[in-house]
């Protein structure tokens, strides 16, 4: 999982160069058509497998409901936070990580906490290294797409594990926030608040402030809805350094309901 995470995080420019070379040879239109065809085949095969697996799952109603919620959130994100359809790659990119993390943690909430940390490393690398001279934000939009891709992977992995309903007594067990991944993301959030309160971190860059160590954004959105021509044809909303963390933590809390309702075991057999 760590090798995969590094492979899809750091060589952005190499991947973009490769896709551009393919587009030059077969045209962008045919590249999109080929990608859509591959995606459609994968979706059909995976859907058939999941439906077959769900039949034997005791907690299939909860799994199905969260599947619908995940698709709805992806649709919402596509319409509100996405500049172009090339950014849809964030979802399949993080599905394998969501699957692997659920197999390791057996907790949807903790798996998504680690997904956010990995996605933030991805965007942090782009923000601090690849785009360090550009007026751009730390891209919470992309981190949120990574989170939803991880959520799809978590639900897919659940279909291949043993998922049973928790009774009322079991729901009163150890709280989910004591898990290592949840502790890690809460510690990162608390550290960010402390750095901001002490003035060592700014939400938006201010060149006149020489005391701060770093800022979470070198860009201020001109309006709630706006278009950046270089990013794509769509108007979209850029999550601010306040909106992004709140939405991400709220979404993890939503999926923590699965932890309360479903017991996940390593095997269905």
pLDDT in tens, 18-40: 878 888 899 888 888 888 898 88
Q: Residue 211 is part of which domain span?
A: 2-265
Helical ranges in 81-203 per DSSP H: 90-105, 108-125, 140-159, 180-198
Three-state DSSP at 14 gives helix
Distance between CA atoms of 177 and 117, rounded to whole angstroms?
Answer: 16
- Please give the residue that has the higher pLDDT: either 9 or 75: 75
Tokens of 76: 């919402």
Per-residue pLDDT at 174: 65
**Is residue 269 scored above 70 in pLDDT?**
no
Averaged pLDDT, 50-54: 87
**Is residue 176 scored above 90 in pLDDT?**
no
**Distant-in-sequence contacts of 68-75, Cβ < 8 A, 24+ apart:** 69/254, 70/148, 70/151, 70/152, 70/155, 73/148, 73/151, 73/251, 74/148, 74/152
Q: How confident is the model at residue 17 (pLDDT cuts 50, 70, 90)?
A: confident
- Please give the residue that has the higher pLDDT: either 170 or 83: 83
If one counts the domains in the chain, the total is 1
Distance between CA atoms of 68 and 90, rounded to whole angstroms?
Answer: 19
Answer yes or no: pTM beyond 0.85.
yes
Instruction: Residue 152: name the closest of 39, 10, 15 by CA.
Output: 39
Q: What is the pLDDT of residues 72-124, one digit of tens each?
A: 999 999 999 988 877 888 898 899 999 999 999 999 999 999 999 999 998 99
Q: How confident is the model at residue 130 (pLDDT cuts 50, 70, 90)?
A: confident
- Length, in residues, of the chain: 269
């Amino acid at each position: 999982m760590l090798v995969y995470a590094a492979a899809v995080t750091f060589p952005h420019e190499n991947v973009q160069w490769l896709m551009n070379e393919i587009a030059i040879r077969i045209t962008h239109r045919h590249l999109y058509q080929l990608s859509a065809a591959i995606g459609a085949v994968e979706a059909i095969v995976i859907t058939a497998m999941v439906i077959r697996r769900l039949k034997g799952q005791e907690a299939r109603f909860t799994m199905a409901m969260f599947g619908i919620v995940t698709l709805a959130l992806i649709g919402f994100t596509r319409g509100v936070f996405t500049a172009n359809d090339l950014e849809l790659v964030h979802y399949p990119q993080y599905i394998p990580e969501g699957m692997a993390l659920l197999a390791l943690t057996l907790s949807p909430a903790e798996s998504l906490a680690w997904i956010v940390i990995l996605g933030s490393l991805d965007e942090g690398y782009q923000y601090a290294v690849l785009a360090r001279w550009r007026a751009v934000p730390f891209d919470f939009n992309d981190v949120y797409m990574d989170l939803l891709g991880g959520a799809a992977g978590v639900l897919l992995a659940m279909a291949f594990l043993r998922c049973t309903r928790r009774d009322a007594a079991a729901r009163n067990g150890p709280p989910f926030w004591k898990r290592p991944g949840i502790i890690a993301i809460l510690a990162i959030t608390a550290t960010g608040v402390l750095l901001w309160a002490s003035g060592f971190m700014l939400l938006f860059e201010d060149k006149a402030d020489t005391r701060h160590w770093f800022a979470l954004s070198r860009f201020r959105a001109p309006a709630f809805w706006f278009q950046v021509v270089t990013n794509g044809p769509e108007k979209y909303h850029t999550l601010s350094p306040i909106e992004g963390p709140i939405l991400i933590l709220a979404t993890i809390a939503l999926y923590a309901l699965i932890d309360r309702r479903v017991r996940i075991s390593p095997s269905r057999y």
